[in-house]
Every structure is written in structure tokens, then in C-alpha cells.
Amino acid sequence: MPDSAPEPKDLNLGPVTYLMSPSGGRYPDGNSILVEGERESVLIDPAIGLNTRERALPRVDRVLHSHCHEDHIAASHLFADVPWHFHSLDLPGITSLDAMMAIYGLGGEVEAGFRNMIVETFHYQSRPDPTAFEDGDRFDLGGVTIDVIHTPGHTRGHCCLMIRWKDAEGERSLLYLGDIELTSFGPYYGDAWSDLEAFEHSLAKVREIDARHYVTFHHVGALEGQRAFRERLDRFAAVIPQREARLLDFLRDPHTLEEIAEHRFVYRPGDPVSFIDCVERRSMAQHIERLLREGRVRETEPGRFTAASGRG
């Protein structure tokens, strides 16, 4: 295929290969991770791009998933003969398409369209027999280990994975962050199975984890050292209070949740994604709940909110 663009080079870090997608891991694609031990090889989060990868796919003994979302399972079906692992809380999503749709909780016409897309674009294939892992579980591949760190918020069962090995320089470590994606978009907590405050706790938790390398599924690439990681993480986390501050500003006049969703605090106005309204509503409802609890927002009449210091 001489006319096709050259595929990006994978990044090799000891037994870890970061399988770079041609788009740099931009949604709907992502960068999967292959970990090759002396006894076993594990693939983490098989991305959609693996379906058309020209280079040979690796032989793997099991597939680990940071969480059950469409873009993280989009090439799992290529490895149908080996065990698929998820955190127990996200496990139901892979057992049936209905269970998968419950994670998003879209409803109505939007759900029907997204349901089709998950099957046709993302190659969703249910598995009756997925395997659960829990926080603190360890996979020993021989000379390299993978530890599960439960970091809920994006989904209930979202996990980061800490990979450790030794080389001539001594202990090496890589923290795979899944969809704690460190992008300028900021944290995503707009699904039925998302939780804003759980996400905030998870951000604080990973901030304390010291590793040599940090990688995400989407297009940030590999970061070296905790200092570089914390800089990116702090900018990513800051999007949450920025959304909240913009919301409080908007609520100087009373507004309903529908009006808040229409105004757009998560996506940019005009972003053409079918499920935006639902995601905006669910994301910002969690901010409203928190602000009501803290007395910084009040409900002037049923379903209409205003900043405590605002008009109305």
C-alpha cells in the first residue's frame, strides 16, 4: 500500500509497547498498550485502529480494559479466544448490549443511534464470561507486573494500571491512566455511570502516584516523571472548577437545567455530537446538586436555579 500514510512508530519502553494510532489517539481511536512478560502477554484497551492495522497484531494471552466504553473495546473482538478482564463494576457492560447502553443512560432516539454505532463502528461483541478484577489485584506476566488501581468517576469501574519491571537502571514503572486523559477537554463525567465527586477523588489519588512514565489512551502521548504528569493533571483537573465558575456566572439570572444544557459548559456550542444535550444535562446537574448543598445556588421555583448572590 505505497499510497497510504506511514503508520506512526510505536513507542517501546522495556516490555511495554505503546501502540500509537495514526490519529495520535484522537477519538474514536486511541493508543492501546501491549505488555510482554516472560510468561504472558497482555493487551490493554484494544482501540478501533487495531482493526485496520497493517502490521501484524500481537499474540496475547489476555485483554485488560481500563473501563467499559465503546472506544476501549473496539478491537477486543479480534481476541475472542482469550480472557477479557474488567473491574467488577464495569463488567456487566460487556455481557449484553442493553447492559452496555445502561452505562451511558442516553434514552430515546439518541440511544437508538448510538446503539447502532457501538455495534457497527466499534465492533461491540458481548461476552458471556468476562473476568472481574478488583482494586489491588496484580497480574504477574513474568518479569513484569500490572497492578489495578480503581479510579472511579469516568465510569463506576474505571481503573488505572501500574506496570512495573526492572532493567539495568533498576525499577521502572509506567502508569496507564485510561480516560483520565489529561486533554484540554477536561474530565468527562456525563454518563449515567459517571460521578463528578468520585472523579475528583480519583484525580487526587493518581496525583500522588509516582511513576517514571505516564500514558493515556487518547492523544497526549507519554509523559516523563511525576512533575510533568502533575502539571498536565492539574490543568486537566482545573477544567472542573472552570465549568463550575462559568455555571455560577450564568446563574446570576435564574435558569432551568434545560437552559443550562443548551448554553454548553462541557462541549463547545455547535459541537455536532448527538448525545451532547444528555451529557451537558447530566454533567451540570451534578454541579447544581453540589452548589445547592453548599448553599451557593438556590432553587427559586421548582426546576429553576440561581446563584445565591444572583437576581431572582
Q: Which residues bind Zn ion (CB under 5 A)?
A: 69, 179
Residue among 36 and 195 whose Cβ is closer to Zn ion: 195
Cis ω for the linkage preceding 28 (within 30 of 0): yes
Distance CA 54, CA 64 (A): 23
Closer residue to Zn ion (CB): 14 or 178: 178
CB nearer to Zn ion: pick between 145 and 185: 185
> Smaller CB distance to Zn ion: residue 150 or 212?
150
Q: Give the H or E element holding residue 285.
A: helix 276-293
Task: Check: CB of residue 198 under 8 Å from CB of residue 191.
Answer: no
Min. distance of Cβ 245 from Zn ion in angstroms?
25
Distance of closest approach, residue 70 Cβ to Zn ion, in angstroms: 8
Q: How far is the CB of 166 from Zn ion (least distance, A)?
A: 32
Nearest to 41 by CA among 53, 57, 25: 57
Cβ closest to Zn ion, residue 36 vs residue 71: 71
In whole angstroms, how close is the CB of 93 to Zn ion at the nearest point? 11
Q: Per residue in 15-37, is it b (16+ CB within 10 Å) or e — as a string? A: bbbbbbbebebebebbbbbbbbb
Nearer to Zn ion, 69 or 219 (CB): 69
Query: What are phi and psi for residue 3, nearest 5 degrees?
Result: -80, -15
The residue assigned the cell 475472542 is 80
User: Contact 265/212 with Cβ under 8 angstroms?
Assistant: no
d(CA 281, CA 192): 11
User: Residue 238 CB, nearest distance to Zn ion (Å)?
Assistant: 20
Q: Among 268, 264, 281, which Cα is nearest to 194's?
A: 281
Measured at CB, which residue is nearest to Zn ion? 69
CB of 179 to Zn ion, least distance (A): 4
Q: How far is the CB of 215 from Zn ion (least distance, A)?
A: 15
Q: Which is nearer to Zn ion, 179 or 280 (CB)?
A: 179
In angstroms, give the least distance from the CB of 169 to Zn ion. 33
In the complex with Zn ion, the residue whose CB is nearer, 69 or 212, is 69
In the bound state with Zn ion, the residue whose beta carbon lies nearer, of 32 and 306, is 32
Burial of 301 (0-12, 13-18, 19+ CB in 10 A): exposed
Contacts of 81 (CB under 8 A, 6+ apart): none
Minimum separation from the CB atom of position 155 to Zn ion (A): 7
Q: Are strands 144-150 and 213-215 parallel, antiparallel or unpaired?
A: unpaired
Length of the chain: 312
Sheet-wide strand order for 297-301: 255-256, 304-307, 297-301
Q: How many Å apart are CA 169 and CA 241, to the nearest integer?
A: 40
